[in-house]
Amino acid sequence: MVILVILAGVFIVAFRSRETSTDRYTPPPRNETPKTTEIVASPAQARPFDHSTAKPSPVPLSIEGPARIIDGDTVVIKKTQIRLFGIDAPELDHPYGQKAKWALVGLCKGQAVRAEILEKDAHGRTVAKCFLPDGRDLSSEMVKQGLAIDWPKFSGGKYSHLEVTDARKKMWLADARQKGRMHVWEKFEAKKRNQR
């Protein structure tokens, strides 16, 4: 029944659009032979190609090669420093920072990493989705290992379902940064300075 209603609606729309069409075909009278008609686009549709405004389609830029690891969410490939897309790992001098770096070293060691460059971030760093030769996403792998957390502001929540239990408690400084609670960072940094 529903299909019949849909088909009837399509038929009515098609019939009405045919009635209002200005390019409607009119059959010749019975005594005449049909003439070939040339369909001409309306002036709004027929625009010449403008070379001055034409732009090539953007080709996604990617680089591939061995990765040198800076920290848990930053690598260097072919002299380009790359921030892994959509995640936040602890800084090297924060809790779990060294562990995150060495986990990323373990993932990338001896492999060519492919980086699909997306943009430059507010700090001028290149942001990219990075993949291992077997297709694994490095951002996903770091979150699954519990050594990075999803950064929804940038990822749209793409990796949040991969976060391990208590990952945000463990990486409380990264969580604080994401939530704009920079006083937590300042307190941590002041405590580190006082311990020196």
pLDDT per position as a tens digit, 93-147:
899 999 999 999 999 999 999 999 998 877 778 999 999 999 999 999 999 999 9
The per-residue pLDDT for 21 is 47
Taking the domains of the chain in order of start, what are their residue ranges?
A: 62-195
Share the mean pLDDT of the chain.
80
| Domain 62-195, architecture per CATH | Beta Barrel (2.40)
Question: Is residue 15 pLDDT above 80, yes or no?
Answer: no
The per-residue pLDDT for 177 is 83
pLDDT per position as a tens digit, 17-51:
555 444 455 555 555 555 555 555 555 565 666 76
Mean pLDDT along residues 11-15:
53
CA distance 54 to 48: 11
Nearby residues of 71 by Cβ (< 8 Å), 6 or more positions away = 89, 91, 92, 97, 100, 101, 104
**Residue 60 is which amino acid?**
P
The per-residue pLDDT for 28 is 56
